[in-house]
């Protein structure tokens, strides 16, 4: 009888863990459950010390989450990964120096020699922690759904959203300079004292980048929500390609930019300077549409750790506790040619 009870318990545990891993890694639940069952069978032949099963569980969830976060989507798709250069959650990045001069029909020799000076910088990856979530045994007994899997998915989605928002903020220029144009919108008043974004503003930004000799191929524009709405109202030709992208089609260029929309846009203050990430709102704040070049950017990921305490090791409260920590960073390697569009006040 005891053997049957243990078997049923193991099968139930494999189903719960498999469902959680399926949520974390976006794979099928049956496949994840079979994997857990196979691992459980293999572990049955190994004598593990007390608490070791929780360690194995934690490692399985960490592996699933790492694979998930290696597949950033939306506007970061195709940005080079530099995970292999991360050590102790620090990355050494190189800002490349000036481009060489191209001589046409040269008749003067010897040809001059110039040394390219690169700047090497050691940068610590950002540390992202989720607050812990507790799951009581009473909840697991009474609830008609897999709360463990739901908690894991919620932590994953929250981490991913925060990292994406911070990444876009990091790729956004700090202010208007000779090499990083920040242009104000020129459209009509939207009724709140804000000038709308119009297609002509994107053409102006395109020209500003052209004047900086920025390569045309691969330019990306991440629209703030208000600016996306402005374009949909002002230019019906924008609506069709934008909506086709939502249906899974390849997004065509819009005035020379691969166009995306992201809800967590960076914010500039009334003076036209980018505010710190997560700063409190203030009067005169303006959402920014971000222009960047994937080839002049990178994403790097460091350690990911799943903190988990099983209810079996917490007999006083009979509850499990889960939380995540992930090291990651997104930065430009050379921000010349990056830019932004912000709303002008009427």
Q: What is the pLDDT of residue 217?
A: 87
Contact 94, 331 (CB under 8 A): no
> What pLDDT, in 10s, does the model give residues 181-190?
999 999 999 9
Look up the pTM and report it: 0.72
pLDDT at 62: 52
pLDDT at position 140 is: 65
Among the residue ranges 6-20, 150-164, 308-322, the one predicted with the least confidence is 6-20
Q: Please state, rounded to an integer, the average pLDDT across all residues of the chain.
A: 77
Q: Give residue 95's pLDDT.
A: 62
pLDDT for 34: 58
Residue 6, pLDDT > 60, answer no
End-to-end CA distance of the chain, in Å? 79
Q: Which sign does the torsion angle of CA 246, 241, 169, 282 carry?
A: negative
Least confidently predicted of 2-11, 86-95, 327-336: 2-11
For range 25-54, the mean pLDDT: 51
Tens digits of residue pLDDT in 198-207: 999 999 999 9
Kindly list the domain boundaries of the chain, sorted by start residue.
Answer: 73-83+126-346, 84-124
pLDDT at 60 over 90: no
Residue 234: pLDDT above 70? Answer: yes
- 82 pLDDT exceeds 50? yes
φ and ψ at residue 78, rounded to 5 degrees: 90, -10
Q: State how far the Cα of 9 lies from the Cα of 6, in Å rounded to an integer.
A: 5
Cα–Cα distances in angstroms (integers) from residue 234 to residues 59, 72, 198, 230, 257, in the given order? 51, 31, 6, 6, 18
The reported pLDDT for the residue numbered 50 is 44
pLDDT value, residue 52: 47
């Amino acid at each position: 009888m005891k053997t049957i009870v243990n078997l049923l318990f193991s099968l139930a545990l494999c189903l719960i863990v498999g469902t959680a891993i399926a949520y974390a890694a976006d794979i099928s639940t049956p496949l994840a459950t079979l994997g857990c069952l196979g691992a459980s069978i293999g572990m049955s032949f190994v004598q593990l010390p007390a608490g070791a099963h929780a360690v194995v569980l934690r490692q399985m969830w960490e592996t699933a989450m790492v694979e998930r976060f290696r597949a950033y989507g939306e506007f970061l798709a195709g940005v080079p990964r530099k995970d292999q250069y991360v050590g102790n959650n620090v990355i050494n990045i190189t800002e490349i120096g000036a481009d060489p001069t191209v001589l046409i029909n040269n008749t003067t020799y010897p040809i001059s020699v110039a040394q390219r000076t690169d700047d090497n910088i050691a940068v610590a990856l950002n540390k992202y922690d989720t607050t812990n979530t507790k799951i009581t045994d009473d909840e697991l007994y009474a609830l008609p759904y897999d709360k463990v899997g739901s908690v894991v998915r919620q932590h994953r989605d929250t981490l991913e959203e925060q990292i994406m928002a911070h990444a876009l903020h990091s790729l956004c220029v700090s202010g208007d300079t000779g090499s990083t144009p920040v242009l104000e919108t020129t459209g009509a008043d939207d009724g709140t004292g804000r000038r709308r974004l119009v297609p002509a503003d994107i053409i102006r930004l395109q020209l500003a980048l052209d004047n900086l000799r920025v390569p045309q191929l691969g330019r990306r524009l991440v629209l703030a929500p208000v600016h996306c709405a402005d374009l949909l109202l002002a230019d019906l030709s924008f609506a069709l390609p934008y909506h086709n992208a939502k249906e899974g089609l390849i997004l065509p260029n819009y005035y020379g930019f691969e166009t995306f929309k992201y809800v967590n846009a960076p914010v500039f203050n009334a003076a036209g300077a980018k505010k710190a990430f997560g700063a409190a709102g203030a009067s005169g704040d303006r959402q920014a549409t971000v222009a960047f070049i994937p080839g002049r950017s990178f994403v790097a990921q460091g350690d990911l750790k799943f903190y988990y305490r099983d209810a079996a090791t917490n007999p006083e409260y009979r509850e499990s506790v889960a939380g995540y920590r992930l090291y990651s960073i997104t930065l430009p390697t050379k921000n010349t040619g990056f830019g932004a569009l912000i709303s002008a006040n009427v």
